[in-house]
Structure 1
């Protein structure tokens, strides 16, 4: 819980006593590598997740049945399907642990109660949404603008912490590339 407290404190000024109240709204979930986080609750996202330790990825299945990665989260990152969570509608995405992970989970209803109890957190969650939305816009821009090789090397340069922990086939999927192509450009870059 200290990780979440430190993360919140980076974005808003909040009384330390309020953090004790905050923790009552979350549950700790330990996830094994390759397990799905929403596997027991059905196709509707029930929680917003904050990664304490580990790495998660969100994906959808293509018509061919392949996984298409759309988002990653490591320590101090939030991840969810906001439309499914907010509207309680079936998600088109699945959330899976890339490595053994520990996450804090808060339900939509508990998050609403929390925001009523501690209104300052509205600003924190707004900032988190702005950062996430901005990152999504930049990803779309790179997908249209950059060459395949440039997409890969921009990702590695911008997010070295992911490049070191996420398997190459998932990075390739995230960037709209094949794993073979990623191997090829990495080999060319080494020589």
Structure 2
């Protein structure tokens, strides 16, 4: 695949400028992983050493509550990043798991490689700052919806504004992400079909 055909090349170009000839050098800091459906990429209790960029597929990040329930906190489709950003930054253990929702191909960069990448290509500091700002803003919006909307409104808003997730992600994971039960999501869906 030519550099200019790579999905990550196009993603980077949306945010920063760099020479096309530099892309192979940028890409050399990453490892490409293929994850099977339900395969764990990052496991709670272990050091958070990697940040994941989805080329193809879908990932979700979740924790397991004291009662054993899995609580999804984030999803990532093509063109999205996913990691425990705080643990990644601080090089500490994570409380979260990252798992493939479907067969996925991801770029993976370690703490060390990201530092080397940013020294070699300082323009990517701006890229990562922008990505982190977008991720933080999305988290704030989610919190606002939890406070402002009813449970039914939260579900309807999510499926209306993020149809790509609603079509690809199993309902039980969407329910977990929105703080709902799968049974309640089924009730909402049945009500809106009639």
Say whether the 8 Å CA contact 2:101–2:169 is kept in structure 1: yes
CA distance in 2, matches of 1:139, 1:166: 18
Match among 119, 144, 152 for residue 149 of structure 1 = 152
What TM-score results when the alignment is normalised by the length of structure 1?
Answer: 0.97
CA distance in 2, matches of 1:38, 1:141: 28
Match among 12, 18, 25 for residue 21 of structure 1 = 25
- Following superposition, the deviation at residue 38 of structure 1 comes to 2.3
Q: Report the 3-state secondary structure (helix = DSSP H, G, I; strand = E; otherwise coil) of the residue aligned with 1:37.
A: strand
Q: Report the 3-state secondary structure (helix = DSSP H, G, I; strand = E; otherwise coil) of the residue aligned with 1:50.
A: strand
Match among 106, 109, 120 for residue 106 of structure 1 = 109
Give yes or no for the alignment of 1:3 onto 2:7. Answer: yes
- Following superposition, the deviation at residue 44 of structure 1 comes to 1.3
Match among 16, 28, 51 for residue 12 of structure 1 = 16
CA distance in 2, matches of 1:15, 1:49: 23
CA distance in 2, matches of 1:6, 1:42: 34
Match among 53, 56, 66 for residue 53 of structure 1 = 56
CA distance in 2, matches of 1:92, 1:111: 22
What TM-score results when the alignment is normalised by the length of structure 2?
Answer: 0.95
Give the paired residue count.
Answer: 190
Q: Which runs of 5 or more structure 2 residues have no equivalent in the other structure?
A: none
Q: Which residue of 2 aligns with 1:30?
A: 34
- Following superposition, the deviation at residue 137 of structure 1 comes to 0.2
CA RMSD of aligned residues (A): 1.2
Q: Which runs of 5 or more structure 1 residues have no equivalent in the other structure?
A: none
Detail structure 1 runs of 4+ shifted over 4 Å in the superposition.
Answer: none
